[in-house]
Structure 1
């Protein structure tokens, strides 16, 4: 069947998308929710959805090559406004795809709220035509940052699902790939009339990579989240279940029994990850204990640390931060140590 017979269908599809552009955003959000729900079940559908997500970015990076091929095969001229429209659709699909992952895995009482909030604002901008077309697109430096942020978030969510990379590996690959590919795709789409502007774009791209690495603790691990946590003086080793959680403990009880920090962490099937329980007292690290987890368990991988050595004066507020090798925080457990009750004086 000649390719020209598909031309009317392609034109109808383009017309449908132009009439209802927010369908792409809705599709992206639904596919993101579906992928997130399927992650802990190890379903291959989640991997397939993530791969399809990345295919759209292959189109964006090789847009000029594909545009010439479409014009040659289908006889359809792809005007620049239409190409910008397709780029906007990919941004919509991508941002709404990753939002469910980050909304669930974000520790909202930390700097991670800023990153996820930025993603939500970027998603809203992608479906608001006046903001996207009149504010973002004309400003090359801002559009480059927007483009890089979107691709970075997509890779953070997709790479652990597709390749079972650890969080640390995913972060390095996502950051490096986002910086390189976003610059390559936009450099071909944007005409740089002066050489110094081209150098400025290179410098901006490298600066964004540096900022992304320095602020990695503010970026949630998109495919790791806590399903159960507890700070408890007792733990059933046979059943691997914690005792009753506590928010406060006296210093005498602390020295007599110690404390367990119990966490159940959900991770994609096949993912082997090293995490750390970082015990903090008055903002200072007093202990850092490594734990290896395996993904795929429905209730999450259960791991705990038992701390018995405490400072001479442990009274105050404590934290146990659960972090990845890359320094991304999965969650935080908090408790307070109170002074021991003094025995009554004899009369």
Structure 2
């Protein structure tokens, strides 16, 4: 029988086998490759935004301006931007849980600094989007100037990184308050554009969401134990809701604005325009012909609003006349009231406030009633 000689394995100099061979790692799946690709580009976009921080704020402001000027003509851009604002805020609500699930499922997660910067970008976009609406709706010789000025300051904080990260983000309750205020402003503006909600309904929605979001902040401030802590937090939320409702006159109705307002002794009712705008009027003129209050209120197309002309004499309300308006006219919906019944002694300081059904002020007209001869 012929024996087969099997050659011994050839030794390779410098190599020593110390155990079993390690298998090659499995190739990434298509989903993992797609996730890594998206993460790569998100990080690049964030780095670019960090390099040019003013671009995002500028985009938000320009988009707000375009939305402000196109909403009267029912162009879709304003609603698209409003949808983007609401979707971005929905992302802020769910981003932690979504990022955690994506990391568990695909092994890819965005770093925490990136998520914080995305939050900052949404704050910038939101604040600069609502500012044109609020600026036009603000009655600057009233308490509304404080609210709009506060939002302007918040927009500057979102734009300046040292203020945003070193001061705002380090104080948890301050950051939550800032976050809630920004969302409150967005909910004042976006729902009337998207769903034709009345300003009162939009204010109630914004206030309700703000009170709910304030719960973590209030819970962190109350240090009581057991069930007293729950009662204290609920009481503080009730106080916040009540205070927010009574402060509504200081908050401008974001989607309503006076495009024209005048007081006059005569009015062309066929083509409503005030014949002569008055700042002073004699008591005899008031008693003989009364006074017209003419307003043109601009509102989004499809929006129907119930407003009032509230007449005040020396700070005391003497009359409240209801008006129904419809949105869509670039020049504003023209309406007027004619007041003929005045107090026995009408001399003094008068105001005609234009307010919504919810009590938010759209504008104010003032005049002095002088005893004696015509001014």
Q: TM-score, normalised by structure 1?
A: 0.90
Say which SS state the counterpart of residue 292 (structure 2) adopts. Answer: strand
Q: Choose 160-169 or 8-17, whichever is displaced more.
A: 8-17
Question: Where does residue 80 of structure 1 map in the other structure?
Answer: 112
- 1:191 deviation in Å? 10
- Residue 35, structure 1, aligned to residue 72, structure 2: no
RMSD, matched Cα: 2.5
- 1:31 deviation in Å? 1.0
Question: Where does residue 105 of structure 1 map in the other structure?
Answer: 137
- 1:24 deviation in Å? 1.9
- Equivalent runs, 1:1-347 vs 2, <5 Å: 2=31, 3-4=34-35, 5-71=37-103, 75-181=107-213, 207-341=239-373
Question: Where does residue 345 of structure 1 map in the other structure?
Answer: none
1:81-106 C-alpha deviation (Å, 9 max, x unpaired): 32222211111111111111111111
1:120-166 C-alpha deviation (Å, 9 max, x unpaired): 11111111222221222222221121111100000101010011001
Following the alignment from structure 2 to structure 1, what is the Cα–Cα distance between the partners of residues 260 and 120?
39
Following the alignment from structure 1 to structure 2, what is the Cα–Cα distance between the partners of residues 216 and 196?
34
- 1:66 deviation in Å? 2.2
Say which SS state the counterpart of residue 73 (structure 2) adopts. Answer: coil
- 1:255 deviation in Å? 0.8
- Confirm or deny: 8 A CA contact 1:22 1:127 kept in the other structure: yes
- 1:195 deviation in Å? 8.7
Following the alignment from structure 2 to structure 1, what is the Cα–Cα distance between the partners of residues 158 and 73?
31
In structure 1, stretches of 5+ residues that fail to align are 343-347
Is the alpha carbon distance of 1:144 and 1:8 closer, same or farther for their aligned partners in structure 2, counting shifts above 3 Å? closer
Question: Where does residue 7 of structure 2 map in the other structure?
Answer: none
Aligned residues: 338
Following the alignment from structure 2 to structure 1, what is the Cα–Cα distance between the partners of residues 59 and 107?
29
Following the alignment from structure 2 to structure 1, what is the Cα–Cα distance between the partners of residues 203 and 153?
22
- Confirm or deny: 8 A CA contact 1:144 1:183 kept in the other structure: no
- Confirm or deny: 8 A CA contact 1:235 1:260 kept in the other structure: yes
Is the alpha carbon distance of 1:87 and 1:208 closer, same or farther for their aligned partners in structure 2, counting shifts above 3 Å? farther
Following the alignment from structure 2 to structure 1, what is the Cα–Cα distance between the partners of residues 245 and 110?
37
In structure 2, stretches of 5+ residues that fail to align are 1-29
Q: Choose 71-80 or 252-261, whichever is displaced more.
A: 71-80
1:43-77 C-alpha deviation (Å, 9 max, x unpaired): 12111110111111000011112212443576433
Say which SS state the counterpart of residue 270 (structure 1) adopts. Answer: coil
- Confirm or deny: 8 A CA contact 2:46 2:114 kept in the other structure: no
